[in-house]
Each structure stands twice: as structure tokens, then as C-alpha cells.
Amino acid sequence: MSERVIPLVDQRPSGRAMPSALPAAPSLSSSRPPAMPLDALKRPLRDLRISVTDRCNFRCSYCMPKSVFDKDYQYLPQSALLSFEEISRTAKLFASLGVTKLRLTGGEPLLRKHIEVLIAMLAELRTPSGAPLDITLTTNGSLLAKKAAALKAAGLQRVTVSLDGLDDTVFRQMNDVDFPVRDVLAGIEAAQAVGLGPIKVNMVVKRGTNEHEIVPMARFFKGTGVVLRFIEYMDVGATNGWRMDEVLPSADVIARLQAHWPMVALDAAAPGETAQRWGYAKAGGGHDASAGEIGVISSVTQAFCGDCNRARLSTEGQIYLCLFATHGHDLRALLRAGASDEDIAGSISALWSGRTDRYSQLRAMQPPEASEPGARRVEMSYIGG
């Protein structure tokens, strides 16, 4: 009989206070656009990932294993969650400081009631130059067929779907709630039908579990307009039992694909993009756009910290400056203490300006046998991917 693992500490790290505003913090009421901060490594702030719930209806072993997130697990109470008004206000302040892209995550974001209302609120926001924000959402796809039309009507532009294999037995094993792959595929079809695109599909590749699904996944989505991305199994948090020998390097993924199709490297679509892009090649060379492309996200073997431009907002208002952070900063306290927009924007700017995070690069500099010091890192299920 296997031994049940019980967490000894809350997986949600307590937050630190937000820093005081920098001198001459930007005024949101001014006609002059506020200054756009750079962090200590000269990286701009462009992308805000917003976790809208800590709940999920899947129990993927690499994210929310049943041994920890069981029926007795205590989720955040409703009063602790940021309201839609608080999320919208925060997003507006981040936009004033340079953010142009918002990604809604979870947990599973489609479990948040009336999520389309929040999307409609975010769709009204503008950058200082007057441009709308790029609004996207990451989902496990389980509720997407039901909600795709409402999400599109509310103003959602794109969607990313997590799908770790086409083999139904493998997929049910990985989601660990016996959810069928056909229902996720139906969600992808529904999203395409209403124009939520281009759709991206993320496959976490775990050696010994689903690497045999790499080629079938590529074959299935080739030429469909869906961008398939392969993600190295990451050492996020402490509950997933991560081991380096379960990581299949992205270079191996590309080699497996190239054994079936000639491929060409593509330029990054935007600064700070996490995925390296590869396109299917034409017979005479060059990219065959009609066949599409794939991406590989190599945060373990090829760190991309150098141009990381992302901040993360947790479900109850903690700002995290890195996916592998050990602590957040309590923005909710400012929101609920009556702080002005000017003061909150100044605090965010000060926080970003002091940012030095580059976990993946530092990890790569350590010998494989080195033990990892420091506090427990934030969980993927808490902060989103």
C-alpha cells in the first residue's frame, strides 16, 4: 500500500509588503504617459499573468497531485480572492507602466464564475497610447466547448489549451480524474469555430510518461492552424516530486520531429517570447506556412531569463516577479487600504525596478549534484504557468 503524502505547510507563501513608491511616481490622471520602468537587468514590464482561481478540476501529477490536493485541501475563501473590480483596476495600473498583454490563468480559470464578465472589463482597458490590450487565457480545455462563444463575445482574443497527449489512456492517467481527451479536442474545435485564435496547445513532456506522444501530437495538429508547443517538465514548487531524469530536453523533441519532417528555425514573434519557434519546411527549403509551426519551451535546459518581461498576480493579490519565486508582494493590502492609483502604480514601478530574478539561469550555473538552498518556491497551481 502506497504511503500518502500530507503537506506540512501551506503551499501559498505569505507575501511581503509592497515597496514605497519611487520619487516622482507617475500620475495616471496626467496627460503625459507615465514612465515605463526597467528592472535591475534592464528588462521592461510587458506581460501580466493573472491567476483568477486556485481551484482546478484536474489533478495532473506535475501540478496538483492528488497526494496533496485531496478532498481535505483548504482552498482560498471567496473573501480572499481579488474581485473583478480589483483585478481590472490592477490591470489598468500595470498597463500604465508598459504592460500590453494580459493572460488569465489558474488553477483552471474557467472555473471562476462569470469569468466572461471580467474579460469584458479587461477588454475596455487601453495602453497609454490608446491601444487595446492583448487578452488571452490558458485552460485545460475541459469547459471550453461550453464557454468558447461567450468568451469570444466578451472580448477574449486567444486561448492556450493544455493537452499532454492524444492517447486517451495516457491522457486520463496524466489528468488523474479520468477525463477523456475527446472533450478537450471538442473544446479546441469550438474555440477555432468562434475565432479564438491562433490557438496554442501546450504539451508538458515528462520522460517515461508521455514522450511517445510527441510525434502523434505533431502529426495531428500539423496544418490545422493550431500551434503546438512542447514544454520541458519544470521544477516549479515542491509538490510534484520533480526529478531531472524525468526531463526530456527540447533538443531531443526537435530531433524526434526532424526524423519525420524537415524543419527550419523561425525568428521569435515578439521580445521576451518563451518558446523557440520551428516551422515545417517546404520540399525546396524555407518555411511552409500552410503546414504551420511548433514551439519548444526549454526553461530547464536553455534558460530564457535574459529577456523575461512577465509579472504574475496571484488569486488573492500577491505579485510575483518570477515563476520560481519564493515569496510574493502584497498588492491586495494596498488595494483594500484605500491607496490611490498614483501610489499603487508607484509601488509597482518601484518593485519592478528592483527586480533581479533569473532563477533558471542561476540553476544552470550550478553543478547537477548541487542541493538547492532557500525557501520553498511558489506552486504552479497557485500562480499559473
270-289: per-residue pLDDT in tens? 877 788 999 999 988 899 99
Distance CA 366, CA 244 (A): 13
* More confident: 181 or 20: 181
pLDDT at position 305: 81
Report the run of H or E that residue 122 belongs to, with start and end.
Answer: helix 115-123
Distance CA 198, CA 154 (A): 17
Residue 25 has pLDDT above 60, yes or no: no
Where residue 309 falls among pLDDT bands split at 50, 70, 90? Answer: very high
Where residue 227 falls among pLDDT bands split at 50, 70, 90? Answer: very high
pLDDT at position 285: 87
In this structure, the number of other CB atoms found within 10 A of the CB of residue 310 comes to 19
Q: Scanning the structure block, which residue is given the C-alpha cell 511581503? A: 16
Residue 371 has pLDDT above 60, yes or no: no
Where do the structural domains in the chain lie, given as residue ranges?
Answer: 33-365
* More confident: 49 or 369: 49
Of 112-116, 229-233, 264-268, 380-384, the one with minimum mean pLDDT is 380-384
pLDDT at position 209: 87
Where residue 324 falls among pLDDT bands split at 50, 70, 90? Answer: confident
Report the run of H or E that residue 320 belongs to, with start and end.
Answer: strand 318-320
pLDDT at position 373: 45
Residue 81 has pLDDT above 60, yes or no: yes
pLDDT at position 238: 56
**Taking all residues of the chain, what is their mean pLDDT, rounded to a whole number?**
87
Residue 22 has pLDDT above 70, yes or no: no
Strand 16-17 versus strand 47-51 pairing type:
unpaired
139-171: per-residue pLDDT in tens? 999 999 999 999 999 999 999 999 999 999 999
> Reduced to 3 states, what is the DSSP secondary structure of residue 177?
coil
Residue 9 has pLDDT above 50, yes or no: no
pLDDT at position 67: 87
pLDDT at position 6: 30
* More confident: 356 or 237: 356
pLDDT at position 87: 98
pLDDT at position 239: 54
Q: What is the CATH number of domain 33-365?
A: 3.20.20.70
Residue 258 has which C-alpha cell?
Answer: 526532424
Report the run of H or E that residue 246 belongs to, with start and end.
Answer: none
Closest CA to 122 of 162, 94, 97: 94
169-215: per-residue pLDDT in tens? 999 998 999 999 999 999 999 999 999 989 999 999 999 889 999 99
Residue 28 has pLDDT above 50, yes or no: no
